A and B are shown apart, each in its own frame.
Chain A
Amino acid sequence: MKLLLLIFLVQSVLQTIYLPASQGAVQPMDVRLIEQTCKQTPLYDVCVSILKSDSRSSKADVTGLALIMVDVLKAKATGTTNYIKTLLRGNLKGDVRRGLSSCADLYNTVLEADIPVAIEALQKGDPKFAEQAANDAGIEARSCESSFSGHSPLTESNKSVQDVSSVAAAIVR
């Protein structure tokens, strides 16, 4: 009797573990939309890894995926802006400080102009302005990187922002 009960318990526990697996936690439909959408961007892997790890993407249509990407862009730009502020507090060489100030301006434009325009254009249904805004963000990140004559302390951040903005622009398309 005890044996039976034990088996039953073990079985029900294992069933609950395996049931989700037998149905598939990664819903085929959303994955397909993400993959289809990301195929049309220049950085498939960046696109897919961002969208698949964002829970909002499971309910999103293409516009929704674009908005997620713009949100990620905003987060990265915000992160870079904060990092720039931190760096500026330190003891820096003149040309590095100048480069960082230039970058602060550029990222301010990304956050004050590009992100709001992209979000508004996507939500209101005139996506071409969202595409332009996403591209502008990438341009500003590139400009930031070019602001340093020597070594840039922001290379990774700038590349990340550029990558996400090019993906966002392509999704909008």
Chain B
Amino acid sequence: MLESDPSRDFSKHEDPSIAVPCSYIPLPDGPHTRELASARRMPPKRAIFKVFSGVLILALVFAIIIGGRNSDVHANGNALLATSTSSMASEPLRPVSRGVSAGVSEKANHVFSGVEVASFPWNNTMLSWQRTAYHFQPEKNWMNDPNGPMFYKGWYHFFYQYNPHGPVWGDIVWGHAASKDLIHWLHLPLAMVPDQWYDLNGVWTGSATLLPDGRIIMLYTGSTNESVQVQNLAYPANLSDPLLVNWDKYSGNPVLRPPPGIDSKDFRDPTTAWYTSDGKWNIAIGSKVNKTGITLIYHTEDFKSYELLDGLLHAVPGTGMWECVDFYPVSKTSGKGLDTSANGPEVKHVFKTSLDNDKNDYYAIGTYDEKSGRWVPDNPKIGIELRYDYGIFYASKSFYDLHKGRRVLWGWIHESDSEIADVKKGWASVQSIPRTVLLDTKTGTNLLQWPVEEVDNLRLTSREFERVEVKAGSVVPLDIDAATQLDIFAEFELDKEALEMTAQTNVEFSCSTSGGAAERGALGPFGLLVLADDSLSEQTPVYFFIAKGIDGNLKTFFCADQTRSSEATDVNKQIYGSSVPVLKDEKLSVRLLVDHSIVEIFAQGGRTCITSRVYPTKAIYGAARLFLFNNATEATVTSSLKIWQMNSAFIRPFQPGQDA
């Protein structure tokens, strides 16, 4: 809630005297004393008047005293406040930790965390390089949450929060694009705009439900003309149009208003519905009560009238507002995706939420008992624990792709450069490459995410490197021509002696608080330097760091270090990452999708993912290079890699003659 700002001295404070309008006037040395004095000299006939005037005077005096005393109370009260606030202001202020007890990590919310930065003189060459070649983004302007992804009549559909007027959030509408393969997107006309009272202040996030009879239900949040968050129903105007260009809004909208006890601004982002054996459809909507994030469930049969269930799907105290909740089944056995309504003994259910407080997406795996409508996490001690992605990845949404029988996940990847650069370049945000989501059957405790296989179709030429030895403290250039549009798969092995010998450490390592790739350990860091220039003045290390705990067991960490990713001072310089489970006899492996200003990184088959935005000023176009590095002090690392040049996806507006 409060920002930490080491560069600002919080012990300095303004003059503590508060400008409170204080309307009492100092008591006049009143006329009453003079009156009393003159009254004494009056003749007895006027004694009555004297008494009467005395009474009046007394009354007047009382009024003055009482009035004065009240003002005194106010003045004293304010004075007390003045002293107490000045003592408060002199204490150093620290950011309030949210939900740490619930397993939610501390994370700086904002790009620069109070560092004094000059605005970098970005030029058009640098800025235009930043546009991605094969990630979804509109031609210009601002984008945020993915909406209503689905497959219908041979096309994948993607909708998104979009500002048609500029590269910052505002005037939000539903953008729309379609693709045959989740990669080659064609822009279509806007699907929905704020043209009704119930979405006049925002056509916000929503999800699609495909009914067995072929109908398509789109539920979305509208911000009404009075800024109340409600849920609305929309559907395609013409189901025989495979491109679903036009959409109609149900005349009886809104179908859901905030229920009693829920604030009108804490009720948004309805999920895809799932069908339960009682013949009802269920949807979940995230919300909060005080500081407890919660998820409400509703029953419906026709998507027009709803019944709020008594129980909550899930709740975790101290986590704040839950946005974009997602709830879906994963198979314990098959390597396939499941329809949102699937259930059974071979099925686990994933609950996911986006936390408004720290702008990260969290998930937990558990069991859903549809009879009671309860979902219980496997690890009830922590309410929501794992992150989909340890870099930038928010408001994510999954859908069941019935075309290929997989669960596919979209995530919004915002910029981490300065707003003024976004305004200069005229756009902001991209989407992740859609990822398949599967339960990691080897660990049972996390999901695996992996870029959809169709992205492999963008691969052009490849180069293979077999068993390249990288000695401790060295950097090896990889000769691959261009290095800004790449698909890299790399495996790493450490020499066994180093692993056994290394002294035990009892310091708990964390990517974000470490010294990055420059901090040397016995068994790390080692990995790749992407978007680096020849002189390494700019470099983005993506690496493993192996630490040996007190118990003698090895723990592997996987990080992406942005501290030297750009000479520009006005870009995010954090280090992202987390620990990654590595099972016995598993090699260390990583896949990277490098696409100009975005790098998506998948370690150990997608057990730990990191998405990073990178804005180099020199390591761009033909000057970008790729290196292997090993900054460990003891271990030698051997790496085998395959590196593909990636084609553009040619994402562009739909052309009726060419594309239909």
Contacts and interface: CB of A to CB of B under 8 A. Distances in A.
A125 B56 contact: no
Among B3, B22, B59, B171, find the residue whose CB has the most chain A CB atoms closer than 10 A.
Answer: B3
A65 interface: no
Interface stretch (B109-117, B362-370, B400-408, B447-455): B109-117
Given A14-B60, A106-B420, A53 B19 contact: yes
A14 B64 contact: yes
A114 B418 CA distance: 12
Given A4-B56, A49-B19, A11 B63 contact: yes
Contacts of B41: none
Contacts of A42: 2-3, 5, 8, 10, 93
Interface in B1-32: 1-3, 5, 8, 10, 13-16, 18-25, 31-32
A146 B18 CA distance: 32
B468 to A, nearest CB: 42
Given A45-B13, A113-B168, A124-B202, A24 B74 contact: yes
A156 interface: no
Contact of A18 (B49, B52, B63, B418): B63
A123 interface: yes
Contacts of A114: 168, 419
Contact of A15 (B16, B63, B418): B63
* Interface size classification for chain A: 35 or more
Contact of A44 (B39, B88, B228): B88
A2 to B, nearest CB: 10
A69 interface: no
Interface stretch (B65-73, B147-155, B239-247, B610-618): B65-73
B431 interface: no
A143 interface: yes
Contacts, number: 185
A109 B423 contact: yes
A166 B3 CA distance: 8
B201 A49 contact: no
A124 B14 CA distance: 33
A156 B74 CA distance: 34
Interface residues of B, number: 74
A11 B67 CA distance: 13
A132 B169 CA distance: 10
B24 A21 contact: yes
Interface string A92-108: 00000000001001100
Interface of B: 1-3, 5, 8, 10, 13-16, 18-25, 31-32, 35, 39, 49, 52-53, 56-57, 59-60, 63-64, 66-68, 70-71, 74, 78, 81, 85-86, 88-89, 93, 110-112, 116-119, 166-171, 201-202, 204, 223, 227-229, 264-265, 356, 359, 418-420, 423, 569-570
Given A113-B168, A125-B201, A139-B117, 8 more contacts: A14-B64, A18-B66, A21-B23, A22-B66, A24-B74, A43-B13, A114-B168, A120-B171
27 contacts: A3-B53, A7-B56, A10-B31, A14-B63, A15-B63, A21-B67, A22-B71, A44-B88, A45-B14, A45-B16, A45-B18, A46-B14, A52-B19, A52-B20, A53-B19, A106-B420, A109-B419, A112-B423, A113-B167, A113-B423, A120-B170, A124-B201, A140-B419, A143-B119, A146-B118, A170-B1, A170-B3
Closest 9 CB pairs of A and B: A18-B67, A146-B118, A124-B201, A143-B119, A45-B14, A125-B227, A129-B169, A136-B419, A21-B71
Interface of A: 1, 3-4, 7-8, 10-11, 14-15, 17-26, 35, 39-46, 48-49, 52-53, 102, 105-106, 109, 112-114, 116-117, 120-121, 123-129, 132-133, 135-136, 139-140, 142-147, 166, 169-170, 173
